[in-house]
Structure 1
Amino acid sequence: MSGGRAEAVVFACVDADTLGGVQRVTHTVAQGLAERGREVHVIGLHRARSPFRYVERPRYTSHVIHRTPVSTLSPLGRRREHRELDRLLREVGPGFAVLSSPSVVARIRALLPERLLPIGQYHGSYEHARGSWHLDSVRDHYGTLEKAVFLSERDAWLFAEHALLPNTWSIPNPLPAWPSGTAGLTARRVLGIGRLEGVKRFDRLISAFAQACGRSVPGEPELRADLAKTRREAGEGWELHLIGEGTERQRLTSHAADCEVSDRVVFRGTVPAPLMGEEYLGGSVLALASEHEGLPLVVGEAASYGVPSVAFDVSGGLRSLVLDGETGVLVPPADVTALAAALAELMASAEERRRLGAAARAHVEAFRPDRVLDRWEALFEQVTR
């Protein structure tokens, strides 16, 4: 592309308004680039079951192709999708099409006009891709794009090496905003934030929290009597607040009862994005027990408020956010006992929470929205050079 700076950016997702990390990143970057004067469009191939509003006053234009949730398309539905995308994309000026997942790349790449240069994103880690169909799809489809964008330098290197991609680039997820204030870290509250779905493994988080409070947990090693007593005393008054909704809620409620912490696990439901700052200010530790993550925004958001995180070490993106022992604590994946021990240590020590929290906030300055937007602008410039 020549003749000056390309102004338009199209972001395409399978569903752009579901409550999730990919969608939050998409809307945050879209708004930031629009505020910098670009023509920006966000396309959702399907309408979310429960649409979530990320930006109160968007400066970009949103589009939905199918008015139904994600499903297998009939031949008629596929033809309709092609017609709608062709019509929409013909009205967009020259620029870039940022395709947010392997599924989107496979569905949209061939429909893009030449004036929209294709950039593929992958929001997961290399470790996750390797264990699913994603790695083959990235290998098959991303190498012919202008750039393949990953969440961390390590992930970009791993995909270049093992998926043989010649065009890798790394841009982290941006924080939605940069808060002026930080948490006092005196509230006896552990935060668990995300969709209540199986992959997030809130059952393991509840088990770890129960052990951190000195409870014996079904299926986990019995605590020594002296350790249980110490943890019960240090954990007095602590609560685990789960923020989010999903299909696992009833099972998690039952699991909390089995772990004897029903009175300490608070199911908060969905909290609107503009009010999440109050949640971080009221927390003292963020805990993450997911089976896999890319670059989890909740960890960066918590850190921006000075709240340290305890998490399973499941991805390069997570390791870029949490420096173990310096800005938070990482423990071996699926090791509930280790997660409980890390939680118990932070619950018992406000001094340690403050040390890690201050370092965490300083560390995630690199994920401030303006700095991440600068990296997107640098990518666009490099592609058109």
Structure 2
Amino acid sequence: MTHRTRTLTAVASRDVFLVSNSVDELGGITSWSHQMARLFSERGHRVHVLGITPAPAGRRHDLGDDLPYRTTTLYDVHPPTRPPAGVLRRRVDPVDRRRHAAHLDGMRRRAARLTDLFRAAGPGAVVIVTQVWAMEWVALADTTGLTVIGMSHESYETCRRSSRFRRVQRYYKDVDRMLTLTREDADLWIREGLDHVGAMPNPLPFFPDEPSPRRAKTVVSIGRLHEEKGVDLLLEAWALVCVNHPDWTLAVFGAGEEEPALRRQCADLGIEKSVEWRGRTADVPGALRESSVFALSSRGEGFPLALMEAMATGVPCVAFDVAPGVREIVTDQVDGLLVPPADTRRLAHCLERLMSDQDLRDRMGESARRGVQRFSTDRVVARWESLFDLLAR
């Protein structure tokens, strides 16, 4: 990535590029990207959402035909996996050498396309890279004159346990600002020597006019059925809960590769009659209004949108305290209950506490709905625009 110089021209609106691994893959980052694209567009900015590859089969999100901004995907199909990085192997294996050369050539050609798009931007343009894998292509492009912001949509600890940790250190070290989701995570990255790190929370996905009445005897879980989301842990806790509350139901919204195993676990625990598998839903507010308690049983999180959605709907939450983003959103004992990670007995106890006490549900639900408004779209977009102005100076 080239060193960038900026014009100091004040602009009322900007070209904003949001660059992700994919434009249309199901998941929180796609939802966040398109929410921010709409919000920036409504403020008069010219927005272009860019993806490196198309979504995998079965994981495509239908974006509709009425987007008020452009979208572009650089590859027609997912590029081959990058060959192993060992220099010696590439020297002695001609097949591996050709694969490596083809991979780099493909990256450079797509990066050149990014350069063309960036050069057409007006003064004050901003490139927001939402995932570090996508940053590998942006780093090959010419970003002279642009502000480049790199984001990590996961907690520091989750990133540190993954291959992304070293890539963040490598590819985000020269961006104008790296953003995490919480101040606590930002401080941890600063200790790693990245002194240009700040924090930016996710905005509220919605704020319904009508909250949940919290009278339905339903506990709800919403999220992808993946090992990281910990639905297996929730089922363990539910097996302890449902014995004393046979008139309550656990409604699990979501789909994913873990569903068959989770259904088997449900049968093994003997709780099939009290668990409903609802699949994906296009009406999250409706699903939440029909529930009284929300459960977040994840093994890892960033700044969980589902938690914010539940609180906006006035549904009190019980959540594993697995990341700074969780405790940034929920104030324990005030607007929800936090549980030590993977402690299924404590999770069961806290679920029962809310299920058994209507007054407590109402008090925490109302407090949650008030408190989560600090992440309103107006407040978060204003913070983004203040950051754009700061970095353009």
TM-score, scaled to structure 1? 0.90
Is 1:16 equivalent to 2:23 in the alignment?
A: yes
Q: Would you say the 8 A contact 2:18–2:129 is kept in 1?
A: yes
Residue 65 of structure 1, aligned match among 70, 74, 94 = 74
Q: Would you say the 8 A contact 2:320–2:340 is kept in 1?
A: yes
Is 1:320 equivalent to 2:328 in the alignment?
A: yes
User: Aligned pair in 2 of structure 1 residues 285, 255: CA closer, same or farther (>3 Å)?
Assistant: same
3-state secondary structure, aligned to 2:236: helix
Name 2:36's counterpart in structure 1. Answer: 29
Give, in whole Å, the separation in 1 of the partners of 2:206 and 2:80: 33
Is 1:189 equivalent to 2:189 in the alignment?
A: no
Superposed counterparts of 1:195-206, under 5 Å: 195-206=224-235
Deviation at 1:35, TM superposition (A): 0.6
Q: Would you say the 8 A contact 1:47–1:70 is kept in 2?
A: no
Higher alpha-carbon deviation: 133-142 or 375-384: 133-142
**1:144-183 alpha-carbon deviations (Å, 9 max, x no partner):** 111111101111112112x211211111011122211100
**1:32-77 alpha-carbon deviations (Å, 9 max, x no partner):** 0011000101111111133213577322111111233575265254
User: Aligned pair in 2 of structure 1 residues 139, 302: CA closer, same or farther (>3 Å)?
Assistant: same
Q: Would you say the 8 A contact 1:14–1:70 is kept in 2?
A: no
Question: What code does the residue aligned with 1:348 have?
Answer: S
RMSD: 1.7
Deviation at 1:109, TM superposition (A): 2.1
**1:188-208 alpha-carbon deviations (Å, 9 max, x no partner):** 111111111111111111111
Name 1:238's counterpart in structure 2. Answer: 248
Name 2:262's counterpart in structure 1. Answer: 252
Number of aligned residue pairs: 363
Residue 238 of structure 2, aligned match among 182, 188, 209 = 209
Q: Would you say the 8 A contact 2:111–2:140 is kept in 1?
A: no
Among all aligned residue pairs of Structure 1 and Structure 2, give the percentage whose two residues are the same amino acid.
33
**1:283-332 alpha-carbon deviations (Å, 9 max, x no partner):** 11111111110000000011001011111111111110111111111111
Q: Would you say the 8 A contact 1:109–1:118 is kept in 2?
A: no
**Gap regions ≥5 residues in structure 2:** 1-5, 83-101
Is 1:364 equivalent to 2:375 in the alignment?
A: no
Give, in whole Å, the separation in 1 of the partners of 2:79 and 2:22: 7
Residue 179 of structure 1, aligned match among 197, 200, 208 = 208
Name 1:88's counterpart in structure 2. Answer: 117
Higher alpha-carbon deviation: 65-74 or 241-250: 65-74
User: Aligned pair in 2 of structure 1 residues 312, 253: CA closer, same or farther (>3 Å)?
Assistant: same
Give, in whole Å, the separation in 2 of the partners of 1:327 and 1:70: 45
User: Aligned pair in 2 of structure 1 residues 188, 67: CA closer, same or farther (>3 Å)?
Assistant: farther
Q: Would you say the 8 A contact 1:24–1:54 is kept in 2?
A: no
Question: What code does the residue aligned with 1:118 have?
Answer: V
3-state secondary structure, aligned to 1:192: strand
Name 1:44's counterpart in structure 2. Answer: 51
Q: Would you say the 8 A contact 2:110–2:137 is kept in 1?
A: no
Deviation at 1:368, TM superposition (A): 1.1
Superposed counterparts of 1:210-229, under 5 Å: 210-214=239-243
TM-score, scaled to structure 2? 0.88
Q: Would you say the 8 A contact 2:111–2:137 is kept in 1?
A: no
Give, in whole Å, the separation in 2 of the partners of 1:107 and 1:299: 32
Give, in whole Å, the separation in 2 of the partners of 1:58 and 1:115: 27
Q: Would you say the 8 A contact 2:293–2:316 is kept in 1?
A: yes
Residue 171 of structure 2, aligned match among 141, 151, 161 = 141
Deviation at 1:9, TM superposition (A): 0.6
Give, in whole Å, the separation in 2 of the partners of 1:207 and 1:19: 27
User: Aligned pair in 2 of structure 1 residues 179, 131: CA closer, same or farther (>3 Å)?
Assistant: same
User: Aligned pair in 2 of structure 1 residues 251, 365: CA closer, same or farther (>3 Å)?
Assistant: same
Give, in whole Å, the separation in 2 of the partners of 1:80 and 1:250: 41
**1:76-107 alpha-carbon deviations (Å, 9 max, x no partner):** 54344234333433333340100112212223
Q: Would you say the 8 A contact 1:240–1:265 is kept in 2?
A: yes
Give, in whole Å, the separation in 1 of the partners of 2:346 and 2:290: 25
User: Aligned pair in 2 of structure 1 residues 184, 112: CA closer, same or farther (>3 Å)?
Assistant: farther
Give, in whole Å, the separation in 2 of the partners of 1:205 and 1:15: 30
Name 1:293's counterpart in structure 2. Answer: 301
Give, in whole Å, the separation in 2 of the partners of 1:184 and 1:194: 22
Name 1:338's counterpart in structure 2. Answer: 346
**Gap regions ≥5 residues in structure 1:** 215-231
Q: Would you say the 8 A contact 2:212–2:292 is kept in 1?
A: yes
3-state secondary structure, aligned to 2:21: strand
Give, in whole Å, the separation in 1 of the partners of 2:108 and 2:194: 31
Name 2:182's counterpart in structure 1. Answer: 152
User: Aligned pair in 2 of structure 1 residues 21, 244: CA closer, same or farther (>3 Å)?
Assistant: same
Name 2:158's counterpart in structure 1. Answer: 128
Q: Would you say the 8 A contact 1:305–1:361 is kept in 2?
A: yes
Give, in whole Å, the separation in 2 of the partners of 1:132 and 1:210: 32
Name 1:264's counterpart in structure 2. Answer: 274
